[in-house]
Structure 1
Amino acid sequence: MRDRSRSDRNKRRCRSPSASAGKWADLLDPLLLSVVDRLPSLRDRFAVASVCRTWRAVSRPSLSSATGSCPPLLCRPFVGPFHRRSRRYHQISPRRCDLLCPAAPFAPSRSMVSSGSLNLFLLGCSYGHLIFCKGRRAILADIFTGDELRSPDLPSDGWRFHYGALTGSLSSPGSNLLLSANGNLLRWRIGDSKWEECSFTPLDVHMERVVAFKDHVFALDSAERLRVLQFSPYFSIKQMAVQWAGRSIYSGMNIGFTQQLVECGGELMLVQVIPAGQIMHLKFEVYRLDLSGQPTWVKVDGLGDWALFIEESGRCPASCACPGRWGGRSNCIYYAGHGRGRWHVFSLDDTSIDTTDPESPLYFDNQCVSMWPSPFWVYPSMLY
């Protein structure tokens, strides 16, 4: 009887979690990395990296390459319900921010940014950081950890900024924080003690999107002009003369949607929404920047095995290869707006999008001006 009970205890010990964990702990690094590389979402990869220090170190290369192979997360400000009969132009600040993954849309997590920062006007999101301005200082808040970095005092008071962006991760050498006001662009090199200022014309124009691409920093202004920023030997802004090839007759019409710059598959692309020829119908057009000769925007008929992630304000677009790995769709645009849904998926083969559908993010009544833009796409800062 005693031998039987001892045998039963040995069997239970072999089946215990500690024994199973021991087998996982002995997993060879190359095999573990092979498993992590096959995980379809950032949520799964972070779960592996959080197990222990060894797994975190092994999975770090996989995390750093996830920006092109895993979908970004959607940061959705939660502001509570508002009445459709109220003023369309209102100022609201979110109570919190939820983070949703397209690979697991029904398992949201929450951003750790402080409520004090959430009450500030959001200027942009870049390299996993939210960009705010309070008084004479800019604030960079990590959207996941909530850690904050504050800039030196601005050169003077009275600035009215429209947009903010980083040119690289905070850990990369030579990273800059840029704040754009009408006719002016302020630059703070991370770690320096002061700001630099650069003026440009016309004075009623500001930058709306900044992208670091192939050793250059491009900016798209509110007049839809492409510019190149230079930081050495001195801070300067130059307008680039760009031609168009295959442009629609409706392109350039201002219908309330911002043109968007995004890197995709080694190309700098421009996404715009234009009239589709019918009343209250729109469609997407995508162009790539050809720099082989005279800079030219060339119309793109398809994205291949890529997907784009854009949102209404145009501040944080992203791209992802092989979306089928996590159940996504290729040659599509994942669009997030002020609509009630999380996001909508539009194929570039769609010739017309009906904006009279109240569930669509392109529905006109969903457009509003607030202290925060629409939900936006973001990758964690630890991936850069």
Structure 2
Amino acid sequence: MAGRRRGRGHPRRQARPPLPPPPGEPLPLEPTNLREDAAGERTSKKPCHTSSSSSAAMCDPDVWADLLDSLLHHIIAVFSSFHDLLAFIGTCHSWRAALSSLPPAFSFNFPPLHLRPDMGDPHLHGSSVKHSLLSNCKWQLVDPAKRTSSLHRLAPRYLRGRMRYLGCSYGYFILSNLEQCLLVDVYSGATVRPPRLKFSGNHEIYYGILVAPINSPNSHLLLFSRSSMFQWQVGTSSWLEHTLDCERILQIVFFKGDMFAMDFLDRLHRIRLAPQLTVQEVPAVWEEDTVAGLIKINKPWLVVCGDMLLLVELSACRNAFFGYSATFKVFRLNFSVEPAKWVKVDNLGNNALFVSFDRRNPTFSCMNPERWGGKSNCIYCAGASADSDEAWSVVELHQELPCTCTAVGCSYRSKPIPAPSVHSYELHSLWVLPSLVYGDGQ
């Protein structure tokens, strides 16, 4: 509960990634070795111990370790960067443990980290390549609020063969080589190996997602194929297979305690796992004149922004100067009417949205981005533009972008953001919050 005091010497529920650098130290710039964590490990944490004498003096167990969780949550809420959070949780184990009691609706006020992969071999980036040698992959994590510091990581060396990328969820890559699935913490490098898949249709699996943080007692890993969903409760030794009677699922988000999925036909579904699996379409209509004259360039994104479930589209329309122009458009789902209605959003206010062109990657929103040097009413795209040295692109809502039109539809130029795609088996740039921000997931 938010008002309880943090006790000293209580055992922690599950193994955690290594502690971040002490306050004041930058993130390491060199790759570090990765370690493997078996699902279900347990460790205990001693409260309020640091390697710095000055930090230890400031973090006297009799004073600081017993601060109310509610007070610590107020402190966390004012952080404007992931680096601020690292300094906070690196001060004292008891403060780090406060992340575990954050309420489910808590929203961080700092941006996600930008993850840019480096596959090493440029020939692996061709559009004809369906599988990437992720064992040769390394990636860079950059905090948009502290761009001078970055963290480099290498994929586990013991990976063999061609691993397929299935998605990223709660700070973990989800990888697969048909029978074996692997979860890799993008920040700490810790890995989790689920049991082997032994189903005939597992070669068709294209998407994976966690329904809760990995350390949560109710965490499940879901893998999707065209006709089935495979379910693994973290820590158990077997999978369940469920037959799906819907179009291919492209994206899943969690909104107000429910799991919402968008399928290939842009239909919204509500998924429930208990007491048994149910996939129910959510009837939704469009506000009049919101889609007139628009050509969809790509599949839309679902983004949770505070108490709103948003849909973001990249659409094309005729333009007097370019012939055709592309713009981002945002719609809010109004649940107060039946059927629910997608209503156009003219301005994001003091919010910014974060998307990547692989729909299996997480999307984010951030309030008051000016606090860390960002811009409100903008969409941050993880992919870099072809004519810019920036690692990501920032596009204002309704900003017109040139595109060309062919007989088969609209072909979007790589200016200022790259061409979108539904999904592939390769790893591309994305936004991510490391798993440590989710605490124990309680």
TM-score by length of 2: 0.71
Counterparts of 1:196-235 in structure 2, within 5 Å, are 196-201=240-245, 205-235=247-277
Q: 1:51 to 1:111 in 2, by over 3 A?
A: farther
1:20: how far off?
5.6
Measured after TM superposition, the shift of residue 186 of structure 1 is 1.9
Aligned to 2:341: 296
Equivalent residue for 2:84?
44
Q: Distance in 2 between matches of 1:190 and 1:23?
A: 39
Residue of structure 1 aligned with 2:367, choices 321, 329, 336: 321
Corresponding residue of 2:428: 374
Contact 1:66–1:383 under 8 Å retained in 2: no
CA-based RMSD: 3.4
Q: Are 1:89 and 2:140 an aligned pair? A: no
Which piece of structure 1 moves more, 186-195 or 54-63? 54-63
Shift of 1:201: 3.7
Q: Which runs of 5+ in 2 are unaligned?
A: 1-51, 404-411
Contact 2:269 2:280 in 1 (8 A): yes
Q: Does residue 272 in structure 1 map to residue 322 in structure 2?
A: no
Cα distance in 2, alignment partners of residues 152 and 331 from structure 1: 44
Equivalent in the alignment of 1:361: 417
TM-superposed CA distance for 1:93, in Å, is: 4.2
Q: Please say if residues 358 and 424 of structure 2, whose CA atoms lie closer than 8 Å, have aligned partners that are also in contact.
A: no
Q: Which runs of 5+ in 1 are unaligned?
A: 1-17
Relative to structure 1, the CA distance from residue 79 to residue 154 in structure 2 (aligned partners, 3 Å threshold; closer, same or farther) is closer
1:72 paired to 2:112 = yes
Deviates more, 1:282-291 or 1:47-56: 47-56
CA displacement, residues 245-292 of structure 1 (integer Å, 9 cap, x when unaligned): 1422245x452x231111101111111110032445211111111111
CA offsets 1:94-134 (integer angstroms, 9 cap, x no match) = 52011111112232112354145595111011111111123
Output the CA distance in 2 between the equivalents of 1:35 and 1:178: 34
Range with greater deviation from structure 2 (271-280 or 219-228): 271-280
Q: Number of aligned residue pairs: give it.
A: 360
The answer to whether the Cα contact below 8 Å between 2:384 and 2:393 also exists between their aligned partners in 1 is no
Preserved CA contact (<8 Å) 1:250 1:274 = no
Give the equivalent residue in structure 2 for 1:307. Answer: 352
How many Å separate the matches in 1 of 2:274 and 2:92? 42
What secondary structure, in the 3-state scheme, does the structure 2 residue paired with 1:68 have? coil
Structure number with higher helix proportion: 1
TM-score normalised to structure 1 length: 0.81
Match of 2:146 in 1: 104
* Alpha-carbon shift at residue 199 of structure 1 (Å): 2.5
Are positions 1:348 and 2:348 aligned together?
Answer: no
Contact 2:77 2:109 in 1 (8 A): no
Aligned-partner Cα distance in 1 for 2:378–2:156: 34
Structure number with greater Rg is: 1
Q: Distance in 2 between matches of 1:176 and 1:19?
A: 41
Equivalent residue for 2:378, pick from 313, 332, 341: 332
- Code of the aligned partner of 1:164: G
